[in-house]
C-alpha cells in the first residue's frame, strides 16, 4: 500500500458480483477453460459493440499487434510509420525485423499522429502506418485514411487506450484496416489483468488470425498424391480416436510464413470480458464526469491547456492529460514533484518518446525527429490519475492542488 491521497489505481475498471459470478459459474461447471462458448460469445458481442465485421480475442494487445504485423507481410527494406508518443508495445513487434520504423510527429491537441507529418514521411517503401489514439482521444482518422489510401499503405489502429472512444459518432477501430485492443488491468475494462482483441473487415485476415492465434501455421498446402498413409502406416479411418494428425495425411506444405502462436484467450477471461463490456458505457461515463470537472477547473487557469473532446472526436479518458502550454524547461517537472510529494497525487508520465529509447536510438532514432512530441513530453505534459472508483473528493483535491500551485 502507498500513502498517496490520490493513488494511481491498479485497476481501471470496477469488478463486482456479476464478474465474480461469471467466473464462479464457469469454474463450477465441467466446461473447458480454454477455447469455448464464452470466448466465441465475447468476440461476437465485441464485434457488435464496435461495428467491426470480425473480432478475434487474444491474450494481450501486444499479441494483437504482433499478429497484425504478421498480416502486413513486411519484407526486408520495408518502412512503417508510427507515433513516438505511445507505449512501447505499439512497435515492439517491429524490433528485430529488417524494416525501418519512421516516427512521425503528433498533433498538439490530440497527442496522436499528425497526418501532415505522416504525409511527409510516406515513401515508396512505406507499407503501413500505426496510429495510437493517445489517452482515449481519437486521431484524425479521416485525414490519416486519406493519406494512407493515397500512398497505398495499411492503417493499423492501436486502440489500447480507446475502449469507449468515438470518432464521427462511431467507435474507433474500424476506420483503419485492423484494430488492436487491450483489456489490461489499467484499461477502461479488463479481462482480469490481461487480454486483447483484433477487429477487421477483411475475411481473409480474419481466417489467418484465427489460425495463427491457435497454434496453426500460416502456410501454403497442396493435396498429397496419396492419402493412404505413410508406407506401412495406414491413415486413420472415419470414427477413429483423435490423434492430432491435422492435415498430415492429406496435404504437403510448400511454404511457411508464420509458425503460429498460442494466443487463445481463456474462458474465464472471456466470461469477465462479457460482463465488463456490458458495463463499459457506465465506466466511460464516470471517467467523462471526472474529466469534465477537471477540465472546467483547470481549463480556466492561465497557461494550462486541457485535452477534451475535439470536433467529431469523443474522449473516453483512459488517461487524463493536461499541458503547461509553452512552459520552459523544468517548470513541468517542478509542478509534478510538488503534486507528487506535497499534495499526495501519484504522477506517472505516459509515455517517454519511443525514438529516444536505447533500442530505437540504435536503429537511427535521435533528438529532433519529432519536435512537437519532444517539446510536449519534456516540458508540458502532465498525466493525472483517473478511474471509475475515484471519489469526488479526490478529484476535487487534485483540482484544488493544481489551482494552488499554478496560481501561486
Instruction: Please name which of 42, 82, 37, 74 lies closest in space to residue 58, comparing C-alpha atoms.
Output: 42
Residue 156: CB atoms within 10 A of its CB come to 27
The reply to whether 204 and 252 lie within a common domain is no
Note whether 153 and 64 are same-domain residues.
Answer: yes
**CB hemisphere CA count around 127 (13 angstroms):** 17
pLDDT tens track for 215-233 = 999 999 999 999 999 999 9
The CA distance from 130 to 176, in Å, is: 9
pLDDT band at 1 (very low <50, low <70, confident <90, very high): very low
Decide: 155 and 131 in contact? Cβ < 8 Å.
Answer: yes
- Res. 326 pLDDT band, cuts 50 70 90: confident
> What are 354-398's pLDDT values in tens digits?
999 999 999 999 999 999 999 999 999 999 999 999 999 999 999
307 shares its domain with 371: yes
Residues 135 and 223 in one domain: no
Q: Alpha-carbon distance 62 to 90, whole Å? A: 7
User: Can you give the pTM of this predicted structure?
Assistant: 0.95
DSSP character for 380?
I
Considering the domain architecture, whether residues 185 and 294 belong to the same structural domain is answered as no
- Give yes or no: residues 93 and 226 share one domain: no
The verdict on residue 239 lying in a domain is no
List the domain range (segments joined by +) for residue 250. 219-231+245-256
Task: Reply yes or no on whether the pLDDT at 186 is more than 80.
Answer: yes
pLDDT of residue 3: 87
Q: Are 324 and 251 within one domain?
A: no
3-class SS letters over the chain: CCCCCECCCCCCCCCCHHHHHHHHHHHCCCCCCCCCHHHHHHHHHHHHHHCCCEEEEECCHHHHHHHHHHHCCCCCCCEEEECCCCCCHHHHCCCCCCCEEEECCECCCCCCECHHHHHHHCCCCEEEEEEECHHHCCCCHHHHHHHHHHHCCEEEEECCCCCCCEECCEECCCCCCEEEEECCCCCCCCCCCCCEEEEECCHHHHHHHHHHCECCCEEEEEECCCCCEECCEECCCCCCCCCCCCCCCCEEEEEEEECCCECCCCHHHHHHHHHHHHHHHHHHHHHHHHHHHHHHHHCCCCCEEECCCECCEECCCCCEEEEECCCCCCHHHHHHHHHHHCCCECCCCCCCCHHHCHHHHCCCCCCCCCHHHHHHHHHHEEEECCCCCCCHHHHHHHHHHHHHHHHC
Cα separation, 219 vs 275, in Å, equals 36
Inform me whether the pLDDT recorded for 61 exceeds 80: yes
CATH number at residue 36: 3.40.640.10
> Which of 219, 235, 178 is CA-nearest to residue 201?
178
- The answer to whether residue 159 sits within a structural domain is yes
How high is the mean pLDDT of the chain? Answer: 96
Are residues 252 and 334 both part of a single domain? no
pLDDT-wise least confident of 42-46, 164-168, 208-212, 280-284? 208-212
Cα distance between the two ends of the chain: 32
Residues in a beta bridge with 305:
323
d(CA 105, CA 112): 8
Q: Transcribe 239-254 into DSSP letters.
A: TPPP---TTTTTEEEE
Q: What is the pLDDT of residue 258?
A: 87
Q: 297 vs 23, 288, 343, 344, 406, CA distance in Å?
A: 41, 14, 17, 19, 12
Q: What is the total count of domains within the chain?
A: 3
Q: Are 29 and 153 in the same domain?
A: yes
Residue 371: inside a domain, yes or no? yes
Residue 6 lies in a domain: no
Residue-wise pLDDT tens digits, 246-258: 999 999 999 999 8
Residue 7, domain member (yes or no): no
282 with 402, same domain? yes
Is a pLDDT exceeding 90 seen at residue 2? no
pLDDT tens digits along 137-158: 999 999 999 999 999 999 999 9
Task: Tell me whether residue 303 is in a domain.
Answer: yes
The pLDDT tens digits of the residues spanning 88-115 come to: 999 999 998 899 999 999 999 999 999 9
Residue 296 is part of a domain; what is its CATH number?
Answer: 3.90.1150.10
Residues 206 and 345 placed together within one structural domain of the fold: no
Work out the pLDDT band at 35, boundaries 50, 70, 90. Answer: confident
Q: With respect to residue 127, please indicate whether it lies within any of the assigned structural domains.
A: yes
> Is 180:64 a contact under the CB 8 Å cutoff?
yes
Structural domain includes residue 9: no
Tell me: do 155 and 286 sit in the same domain: no
**So what's the pLDDT on residue 94?**
96
Q: What pLDDT does residue 408 have?
A: 81
Amino acid at each position: 500500500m502507498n500513502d498517496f491521497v490520490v493513488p494511481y489505481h491498479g485497476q481501471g475498471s470496477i469488478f463486482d458480483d456479476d464478474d465474480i459470478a461469471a467466473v464462479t459459474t464457469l469454474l463450477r461447471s465441467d466446461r473447458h477453460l480454454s477455447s469455448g462458448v464464452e470466448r466465441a460469445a465475447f468476440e461476437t458481442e465485441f464485434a457488435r459493440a464496435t461495428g467491426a465485421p470480425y473480432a478475434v480475442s487474444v491474450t494481450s494487445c501486444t499479441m494483437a499487434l504482433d499478429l497484425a504485423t504478421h498480416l502486413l507481410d513486411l519484407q526486408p527494406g520495408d518502412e512503417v510509420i508510427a507515433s513516438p508518443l505511445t507505449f512501447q508495445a505499439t512497435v515492439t513487434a517491429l524490433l528485430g525485423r529488417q524494416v525501418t520504423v519512421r516516427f512521425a510527429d503528433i498533433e498538439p491537441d490530440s497527442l496522436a499522429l499528425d497526418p501532415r507529418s505522416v504525409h511527409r514521411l510516406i515513401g515508396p517503401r512505406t507499407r503501413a502506418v500505426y496510429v495510437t489514439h493517445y489517452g482515449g482521444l481519437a486521431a484524425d482518422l479521416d485525414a490519416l485514411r486519406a493519406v494512407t489510401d493515397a500512398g497505398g499503405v495499411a492503417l493499423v489502429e492501436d486502440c489500447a487506450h480507446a475502449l469507449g472512444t468515438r470518432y464521427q459518432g462511431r467507435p474507433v477501430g474500424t476506420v483503419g484496416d485492423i484494430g488492436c485492443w487491450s483489456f489490461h488491468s489499467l484499461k477502461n475494462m479488463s479481462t482480469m489483468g490481461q487480454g486483447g482483441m483484433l477487429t477487421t473487415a477483411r475475411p481473409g485476415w480474419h481466417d489467418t488470425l484465427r489460425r495463427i492465434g491457435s497454434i496453426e501455421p500460416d502456410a501454403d498446402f497442396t493435396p498429397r498424391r496419396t492419402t493412404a498413409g505413410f508406407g506401412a502406416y495406414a491413415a486413420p479411418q472415419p470414427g477413429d480416436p483423435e490423434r492430432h494428425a491435422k492435415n498430415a495425411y492429406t496435404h504437403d506444405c510448400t511454404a511457411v510464413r508464420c509458425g503460429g502462436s498460442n494466443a487463445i484467450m481463456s474462458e474465464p477471461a472471456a466470461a469477465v470480458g462479457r460482463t465488463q463490456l456490458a458495463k463499459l458505457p457506465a465506466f466511460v461515463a464516470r471517467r467523462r464526469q471526472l474529466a469534465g470537472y477537471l477540465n472546467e477547473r483547470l481549463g480556466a487557469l492561465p497557461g494550462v491547456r486541457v485535452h477534451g473532446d475535439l470536433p467529431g472526436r469523443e474522449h473516453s479518458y483512459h488517461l487524463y492529460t493536461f499541458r503547461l502550454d509553452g512552459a520552459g524547461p523544468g517548470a513541468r517537472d517542478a509542478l509534478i514533484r510538488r503534486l507528487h510529494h506535497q499534495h499526495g497525487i501519484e504522477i506517472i508520465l505516459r509515455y517517454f518518446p519511443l525514438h529516444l529509447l536505447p533500442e530505437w536510438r540504435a536503429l537511427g532514432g535521435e533528438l529532433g525527429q519529432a519536435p512537437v512530441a519532444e517539446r510536449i513530453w519534456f516540458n508540458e505534459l502532465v498525466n493525472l490519475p483517473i478511474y471509475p472508483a475515484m471519489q469526488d473528493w479526490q478529484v476535487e483535491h487534485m483540482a484544488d492542488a493544481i489551482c494552488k500551485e499554478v496560481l501561486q
